[in-house]
Every structure is written in structure tokens, then in C-alpha cells.
Chain A
Amino acid sequence: MRDIMTDDLLTLKTETDAALAGATDLRAWDAIRVAVLGKNGSLTGLLKELGKAPPDQRRERGAALNQLKDALSTAIEGRRTALENAAMDARLAAERLDPSLPPRPGRTGLIHPISRTMDEMAAIFGAMGFSVAEGPDAEGDWYNFGALNIPAHHPARADHDTFYLPGENGGTPRVLRTHTSPVQTRTMLTQEPPLRIIAPGRTYRADHDATHSPMFHQCEGLVIDRNITLGHLKGCLTDFLRAFFGIGSLPVRFRSSYFPFTEPSMEVDIGWNRKTGELGAGGDWLEILGSGMVHPRVLANCGIDPREWQGFAFGMGVERVTMLKHGIPDLRPFYESDIRWLRHYGFNPLAPVTLHEGI
């Protein structure tokens, strides 16, 4: 630069740099900018005078002036940025927020544990090819009992503690379903086998104490096909229980029992520790669901020929498996809608049940 720049130009550069360094706010800075680059500024003046220079010097003088202009512009803009940054720093230094303050209120709600468990059941059984079937809570007597080989005099009826509703036009009283088996009945009547369904839903029995609620939830299942054996029943339920409780080695025991709608019938136990409540170990057995091969009469009552079709059915208490899985000690709060309980045991709606994220 020095080689082409004349002394007057160098002086202007030096003076401007010094002035900029002395400017501590944008107003002082702007005064310098106008004094140098403004309409009457010193550099502007020099540029205007360029035309008066002798033609032989004009070219060299022009180049020098352009060089000076670039240098001054850069210096002036650079100073502005510096001053603006300093000003912002000063302003921000005064703008203080206590970052420990609580954020704007906004609370995500919760999914009830019963819904969560039913979703988990749908996911696991869904992976095994089941679909979810539903039916009404208030049922005709036949759907809840007769179709399922529980005639009016059957001792099993006394065990069911049924709630009754007045019959239509003074007819047979309707019942609040004592199990979700009527959904199986309806499915067999409306769909052709092969069938794989689960029926989760509300059920009702006239029983109210620490371990019984007049309303509770069941999930029943039904598989009808040509070659389904008791071995498949064991495999399906073992697969489910191990996936549901997340214990691949969960001991599962099948015990001979009796239900009117299945034959052979069996209770299913899982291994646990009676003292600690820990599942999967401990050498004790805990009854967890009922199951069996669908009774030929039940198939025939729904128009299915037991010579052609066979299969199994099962049923479990939704609350019961939920309590076991999550260590919930008491049944009654499930229906109390106590906000404290819901917040404690409820589930995040944005982390729904999916097999790929884990159940």
C-alpha cells in the first residue's frame, strides 16, 4: 500500500484509525464515518478532486484512493461490529434470568394402568396373529351362560355372583357379563373359523372386598382351527406370560381343573417368591389364569362342528396381572380415580406400547 499511497492519504488513514479507536459509542463512530465517507467527508473530497489531477498521475492516484477507501471502509465497519458487540454484551449483562425458576406450567397426563395392560396384551397377542374383539357389557343370559355350557342349575352359576337387569318386556333378566366369554360366543356366531381373538373388557360380579371389585376387567382369548392341540395352548400362554412379564425364563405350570366351557381345563400358575413377591424365582406358584380346550358343546352351541374344528380358550384378570407386573398392592384404588394414585402408577401417553420399543 505504502508504495503507491502518498503521504496525505497515509495521514488520513492514520488519523481515521486513531479516531475510530477513540470512538466508544455508535454516535461517535457515526460522526467519524460521516467525516470520512459522508458527502462532505474527507475521503469523498479527495475522490472528487481526483478529476483535477494531471492525467498522467490520475491513474496512480485513483488506484491509491480506491485502496484507501477499501481500507477505511473495512476499518469503519469493523469498529461498528465491535461497538455493537460491546453494546450487546453490556445489555445482556443486565438481562438476567434465574434459570432455576420453574418453567411455564404444563403437565402431560397419564394413561391408566388397566389401559396400558390391555394395550400390552393386544401387542403381544397381536404378534401371534390375534385380533381384538368386543361386545356389550349387558348381555342376554344365553350369551353369558347358556352358550358356554352353564345351564340355569349349574353350580358354577352360583359362583358367578351375577348382577341382573330387568328383562325386555318382562322377559328373562339380562345380566352384566360375568366374564368376557360372551364376546367369544358372538365371535363364533358371526365369523367363520379359523379364529384367533382376544376379548379384553369390563366384567361384573356381585362381590366387594379387599380383593374383589364389583367391576373388574378380564382378557379372554379364543383360538379355533383344525389342528390346534393342548400343546399349542401351553405354548401360546407360556409365550404370552414370558413376554408380558419380561422374564424369558418365567416358570409356567399347568394344572388340571374344571370350567364348564373347556375340556380338559387347566389353571395356569407362574413361579414367584411368596415372601418377596418377586416373579420368576422363589419356588412358589401363583395362579394367574384359567384355560382349556374349548368344550365340544360350546362349539356346537355356536354352530361349529367339533369334529372339524378344535381349539383353546383362556381368561385372565387384567388388574391381577397389572398388580403383579407393577407391584401394585391394592385392588380398590384402580377405580377410585384418586389423582395421587393415577400420577403414581399412570403411564406416559407419548411412550405407547409397541413391540419394537419393548413392552
Chain B
Amino acid sequence: MKFSLSWLKSHLDTSATLTEITDTLTKIGLELEGVEDRGASLAPFRIAHVIEAVQHPDADRLRACKVDTGNGIFSVVCGAPNARTGMKAVFAPADSYIPGTGITLKVGKIRGVESAGMLLSAREMGLGEDHSGIIELPDDAPVGVAYAAWAGLDDPIIDISVTPNRGDALAVRGVARDLAAAGLGTLKPFARAKIPTGFEHPLHWRIEWPEACPWVLGRVIRNVKNGPSPAWLQNRLTSIGLRPINALVDMTNFFTVDLGRPLHVFDVGKIAGDHLTLRPGRGETFRALNGKDYTATEDDCVIADAAGVQSLAGVMGGEATGCDENTTEVFIEAALFDPIRIALTGRRHQIVSDARQRFERGIDPALLPDAIEAATQMVLSLCGGEAGPVTAAGAEPAWQRGATLRFDRLAGFGGLEVPADEAVAFLESLGFGVQARDAASVTVSVPSWRNDIAAKPALDQAPGLDPARAEAAAAGVAAMEPECDLIEEVLRLRGLDAVPAVSLPRSAPVPGMTITPRQSRSAVARRTLAAQGLAECVSFSFMAQSDAALFGDTPDALRLLNPIAADLDQLRPTPLATLALAAARNATRGYADVGLFEIGPAFQIGASDGQTLVAAALRAGFTPRSWIESARTVDAMDAKADLWATLAAIGVPMEALTITTDAPGFYHPGRSGVVRQGPKTMLARFGELHPRVLAALDLTGPVVGFELFLDAVAEPKRRKKSAPDLPAFQPLRRDFAFLADISVPADAVLRAARGAERSLIAGVSLFDVYDGDKLPAGKKSLAIEVVFQPRERTLTDAEIEAAAAKVVAAVTKATGASLRG
């Protein structure tokens, strides 16, 4: 909210400086957004009288002037064509800073004539572009007076951000009250007007929807002369960015800001019938004051006359009954509206107005009579006329309530010892009234304008709560909330900086684990993947639906109802999808060979909570080019290596894993695999991405990747390690080459070999795969190394041969492969 310092001072008697005021505003929760203080840079400049302006003896274009500044007579050399004897101008003394030129003035001689200052143009003062000559002031401008003050430019504009709970601070008077309570002066008394009434008028209110509008006042003033409002009012409004319209409308805008009391004025001549009705809308369309048409719904409270809807109550008035320069009879509306309905109406019609802003936060329900009197008084003074009686419908709602503060809770909750007298004084200065007080507590009445204090608690308790527990908790709110409200008031006025900071007490001598085993697995996976050479990414959870569709289902349930952009409308089915987009972006920047990973959510309908945590990684293009080894394209085994490293690092028992070839369609159908643990659990999938997917994303060259479903990883069993196997005898290695059908998985051969003689075979590894044309069609050769580990003595040749025969037999039995000759 914006207001000028002088406006503030019309309510606050203070000697505080601007800085003291703005610092205090921020301290007490009315955060300063900015100060516009044009006067500050103009402070040195004073109104001066040019006693004499004659031709400079040595320069055609200069004049030598004698200037009375009110503080002495100075010689000034001036180059302006309009400098002349007798004029009033603006004088800048030596050592003053000229904002328009960035120069600090010095006393000097210009072609032999002393110049002890400067007469200023508008541009030199930073007040515009005019530099055709120096500023000419009227003859009655007072010599020696600060120019900014005389010109009304020294009134700083203060802009504060008002939090949603503080409707009362959307009023200059409310701000002044808070500042006074914080010790920055005294709040000026509110001058109540009482206007004599001179005639009867049939126009009256009807309330058909008391829940939306419990109380409304109105008054006709006749014989008014509407026109431009006076300069002081126009200045007030323009200084805070409001456009003056006419005196009647400007009056309502003034009170909206001054008292936080939105008013509306109807042109009586344009109202049909003898009453205005507050009722729900019925689908009527009307044109509002902003020139736009709105259709009132049955959830909107409207003001209607015999001709139909004339106003969206509390949000915006209508054009048809608005006041203009021809208005001679005006009806002032001062109403109370339900904040929630106002908020919903404003949001429904997307109208942001000063009235809505105040009504939805709640306005002072007791102020209506005073407000209509004050408004009447201003109309009479601006437009003349004669006031009719106040007409009312509904009644003032019962807003009166109390709140109790136990003094020891200031320290017990707020962390600050505040003497009881000081706490009570703070509350009283905010308008609270002491109803009862003893050594331990004070009970106060809440002022009508503070609807945020001791409000009726609105709870929204979790549906499944145990009823007794819910009831006790609700009772706790009723008991505690008003007190918390009061503690907050005392603390914010006292200043939160006064509360001593206390480190949290230790919960245990040494804190337990900060993260869960599941979170720890993610952390280890993250470090492992980075150690594998991949760069971690954090990409958006949403992406274009068309791109997401390349990576699986895109159910409507995971499609945003209000995406911020068309390419960010679908929750991603897998982080691998957004990594692929990232790879494509990097490629267009000239970095096609990248290794990326991300640990983040994949969104799926069936998953618990609708998402599952996935570690996804991707490598694209070529391995690094080097003088040692030539670059090669990445392949599925690169992805599998990253995956295997990660699985091992997070404690997955690797021997138990099986691999199937049923990866989803965005993987290459022949170069991909699914990693399973037991019959049910899918741990991961990996492989080349399908060329069609790459083409759709403008990715060239192979891209490989994997997805590891971290939520599927079982909690590793925490058991002590068994004793290590460290036989004293050297192991013995034998190589075997098997000729197998092309369809035989290598894993089957390795498993069979490993299982051939468990007590003797310590390890089996594959060291060559060949399926070239030297072999029969449909066959491949798999060469393995088997490590035999003797335990009690060295093996004899016969024993070795027997073991080797067992390996061959086992592999043949399991896979049909035969030993190559």
C-alpha cells in the first residue's frame, strides 16, 4: 500500500524522521517495499530573486546576475536565455550536487566574473527534459524557501507490503495507529462529524442475503455540483498512483485509503425504483466501472435496482449508475460484506480492486456510521448540497470479543520476558481495552478493526483423527489461539530482535541417523553415478505430453489442468525422458557426447503416492577421443556397467539377479534388458534407446541408459560379515570355449559352470564372445575362464581333468553348448 508522508502525518503526530518511520514499519511487520523521496535530492535548492541580470562583459551568451537567496546576495553567471532582472528562479548554492548533470558545484570565476552558485533548469533538477532555460517561478514565490517544499515535491511516498491478516493496515490511519503503538508519536484523535439532515428521500436498502451483507448504510445528498476535486485531493491520489476522476469518486477513493473504508457513490438520477437490493446474482450481465462486462452468478452478491444489477457488491460498481459531472443527486453506500464471498467473487471474475482487497481481509464493522458521516462531510465541502437522512438495512454484527494473556507465556512461548505493565501498554496503544487484570494475566477487549485477533477458530481437522483426540486438540485451539494473537502483538511492537536466540537443546548426546536407509541408498547411488563419470541433473518433473508419450503412458490423471506452458503439461513417466531432452539440448549446443544422470520421481498412476523414485542415467554419442584408445560409440554395456556399479554400491546381492529381454518399447528391442530379483521384483532396465525415440527428439547416434527403481530395492539385511575365505593354496585357472546356439544367454553358461563343482570352483568369467562367419550359422562361441580353488592340497592332474569334465558336462546339460575342439 502506498501513502505519502504528509498523509500519514494527517493521522500521526510525530517528530520521527522518515528513516525512523520506515525502519519501524519493517520491524513491526508492515514491510517497507520502497520510498520515493524526490525531495531529498532537491533539498539544497531554494527559491531566489534575480535582482539584476546584465550582459557578461566578456561573453556574448552569458549573463552576470545578482541573486537574492534569502541567505545573502550572490553573484551568479548564467547561460540561460531567459535569465532576466526581477524574475524568481531556483538557486543552487556552492557545494550542492546537481542531480541532472551529476556535478557538484564549486565557487569559481567564469571569464573573470565570480559565480557562487547556479540557477537551475528543470532538467538540471532531474524534474524533466526541459533545458530551454531556467525555471521561472511566479512572482509570489517566497524567496529563501526550499523549492521542493514550495512545489510540493518534498512529500516522500512510502510503499509497504501489507500481509493478508492485516486488513486494518490497508488504511493510512491503521498504519499510523501501529506506528504510534510502536512509540513513534501519537495517533491524532478521529474527528467525528455529525451532519444535520434536511429532507426526506424514498431511496432505501433491502437486504435479501444477510449472510453476504449483514449491514448497509446509505444517504442521499442532493444539489451537489460534481467536478474536478481540489488540488490537495488530486495530489493525494496521484501521489499514490490513483487517477483523479471527479470529486464524488475521488472522495470514495480517498476514504478507501485513508480509513480503509471502501465506499460507493450512485447517481440517484440513474437508479430505477425507490430501493437498492442486496441479493445473489441471477446470471445478469452488467458493465462495471472498468468498462468490462461481467455476468453475476448466484454465488456473487450484487446490488440491484428495478432495472437490474448495478454493482458487484464490494468488488466493483457499475457504469450505468456511476457519478459524473452531470450528477446532482448522489447516494453514498457504506456496507459490510462477508470477506469470504468477496474473495471468491473477486477471484471468480478476476477483478483486483482496492475495495475487494479490503473487504476480503475484513474491514472495521463498527466504522460504518462514522464513515458515512465523514464521507457526507467531504461531499458537502467539495460539492456543496444538502444531506438527507442515513438509511440502513441489517444491523451491526456482534463483533465484540475478548482475549486473555498470561504474562508468563510471553517468555514461555515468545521467548522474551516482557514486564506486565509494558505488555498491557502495548495492547492499549493498539486499541485493546483492559477488562480485567491480575498479577498473572490480563483480559482485553479486541478493537473492532482487528478481525485477525481472537477470531472464531476455523479448523479443518484430518478426517481420520480419533474423535477424542480431535476434540481435545480443538479445545486447545480455543484456549491458545487468542493468547498467541496477543503475544504476537506484544512481540512485534517490542521488536523480535529483543528475543534472545537460544540454541536448540540436544535431543541426544550424539544425534541418531539423520536420513533413512532408503534416503541413504539414494545418496550412495548419487555418489556412485557421479563417480562413474556422469553429471547429475535436476530436470523438471513435467514435460510436453507428446515427448512423454515416447516413454510410456501419459494418463490424463497426470496431465496438469493449468500448465504454465504447452511443453510442460505432463508429469514425466520416467526421469530418463527428461534426461533424453537434456541430451538433445546439449547436442544442439555442440555437446553431443554427454553422460548425465538424475535421481528423481517418475510419475505413475499405480505407484503408491503416484510416484516412484528412479535413478536414471544416460550416455550419448562417443567415448572420449584419445591418443591412447580411439573413440567408440557408447553401447548398452556402458549403461549396464553404470547400473551394475550402482546396484552393487547400494548393497543389492548381485548373484541373485536375473535378466530378461522384455524392456519397454522406448528401448531398442534387441539391445536392452530388464533386471529382476526373484519372480516379482523388477529392479531396473537398461539398454539402447529406440532409434524412433531418438529421431523424435532430434538425437543422433546411439544413446544408452538405464532406470533403477530405488523403491524396489529391498532393505539390505544388516548382518555381520562371515569370515573371509583365504585358502593357502594357489588357485588354478582353465579356459574353456563353448559353441552354443546364438540364443543361449551368456549368463546361463556362466551359471552352469559356476554350479558344476561348488566346493572347487571359486569363480567363472567370460573373456570372449565370437559369432563371426567362421562358425556355423546360428552359433556363437563363448570363452570362459574357470578358477579352481584347492583347499587341502594341490590338485593332481587327474582331479583337474575330472573337474574340467564336470564343467563341460554342466554347461552342455544346461545350455546344449558343446566344447569347441
Contact = CB atoms under 8 A, between A and B. Distances in A.
B584 to A, nearest CB: 10
Given A112-B538, A158-B347, A256 B496 contact: yes
Contacts of B481: 263, 295-297, 306
Nearest to B627: A101
A234 B415 contact: yes
Interface stretch (B161-169, B227-235, B276-284, B721-729): B161-169
Contacts of B599: 115
A147 interface: yes
Contacts of B421: none
Interface in B586-611: 586, 589, 591, 594-597, 599-601, 603, 609-611
Given A257-B29, A296-B481, A168 B511 contact: no
A356 to B, nearest CB: 13
A189 B466 CA distance: 11
B536 A342 contact: yes
Contacts of A238: 501
Given A214-B564, A301-B461, A109 B530 contact: yes
In this complex, the member of A202, A232, A296, A342 whose beta carbon has the largest number of chain B beta carbons within 10 angstroms is A296
B470 to A, nearest CB: 6
B474 interface: yes
A223 B504 CA distance: 10
Given A122-B514, A165-B557, A206-B562, A352 B540 contact: no
Nearest to A253: B497
Contacts of A256: 27-29, 488, 491-492, 496
Interface in B211-234: none
B787 interface: no
Contact of B459 (A132, A230, A301, A337): A301
A339 B535 contact: yes
Interface string B401-419: 0000000000111111000
Contacts of A317: none
Contacts of A105: 623-624, 626, 628-629
Given A256-B491, A346-B536, A168 B557 contact: yes
A109 B531 contact: yes
A310 B479 CA distance: 13
Contact of A163 (B414, B488, B560): B560
Contacts of A107: 533, 624
Contacts of A265: 488
Contacts of B414: 229-230, 264
A340 B560 CA distance: 31
B504 to A, nearest CB: 5
B470 A303 contact: yes
Interface string A161-177: 00111101000010010
B526 A131 contact: no
Interface string A126-152: 111111101111100010001101011
B465 A303 contact: yes
A99 to B, nearest CB: 14
A236 B503 contact: yes
Interface size class of A (residues with CB under 8 A): 35 or more
A104 B625 CA distance: 10
Contact of B535 (A147, A303, A343): A343
A169 B769 CA distance: 54
Interface stretch (B63-71, B287-295, B515-523, B657-665): B515-523
A194 interface: yes
A267 interface: yes
Contact of B585 (A106, A267, A336): A336
Given A202-B600, A296-B480, A258 B514 contact: no
A327 to B, nearest CB: 19
Nearest to A348: B530
B564 A297 contact: no
A138 B603 contact: yes
A336 B27 CA distance: 39
Interface in A62-121: 101-102, 104-112, 114-115, 119
A205 B142 CA distance: 57
B561 A303 contact: no
A232 B412 CA distance: 11
B17 to A, nearest CB: 18
A31 interface: no
A230 B480 contact: no
B458 interface: yes
B200 interface: no
A190 B476 CA distance: 20
A108 to B, nearest CB: 6
A19 interface: no
B361 interface: yes
Given A109-B534, A234-B499, A255 B26 contact: yes
A255 B488 CA distance: 12
B332 interface: no
Nearest to A234: B501
Interface string A280-302: 00000000000001011101111
A36 interface: no
Given A126-B514, A138-B611, A154-B164, A206 B564 contact: yes
A235 B501 contact: yes
Contact of B460 (A112, A142, A263, A338): A142
A187 B589 CA distance: 44
B472 A305 contact: yes
Contacts of A303: 461-462, 465-466, 469-470, 473
A125 interface: yes
Interface in A234-255: 234-236, 238-239, 252-255
Contacts of A131: 512-516
A132 B563 CA distance: 30
A349 interface: yes
A51 interface: no
Interface string B436-470: 00000000000000000000011111100110011
Given A147-B460, A302-B462, A305-B476, A227 B503 contact: no
A56 interface: no
Given A238-B501, A264-B487, A349 B527 contact: yes
In this complex, the member of B476, B491, B500 whose beta carbon has the largest number of chain A beta carbons within 10 angstroms is B476
29 contacts: A101-B627, A109-B535, A126-B515, A130-B514, A131-B516, A132-B519, A134-B519, A151-B458, A153-B339, A163-B564, A165-B560, A165-B561, A214-B564, A215-B541, A229-B414, A230-B413, A231-B502, A232-B503, A234-B496, A239-B503, A254-B499, A264-B491, A264-B492, A293-B484, A300-B459, A303-B470, A305-B472, A346-B535, A349-B531
Given A137-B541, A154-B343, A196-B507, 8 more contacts: A104-B628, A112-B537, A137-B601, A153-B343, A230-B499, A256-B492, A257-B163, A297-B459
Interface of A: 101-102, 104-112, 114-115, 119, 122-123, 125-132, 134-138, 142, 146-147, 149, 151-156, 158, 163-166, 168, 173, 176, 189, 194, 196, 202, 204, 206-208, 214-215, 217, 223, 227-236, 238-239, 252-258, 260, 263-267, 293, 295-297, 299-308, 310, 334-340, 342-343, 346, 349-350, 352
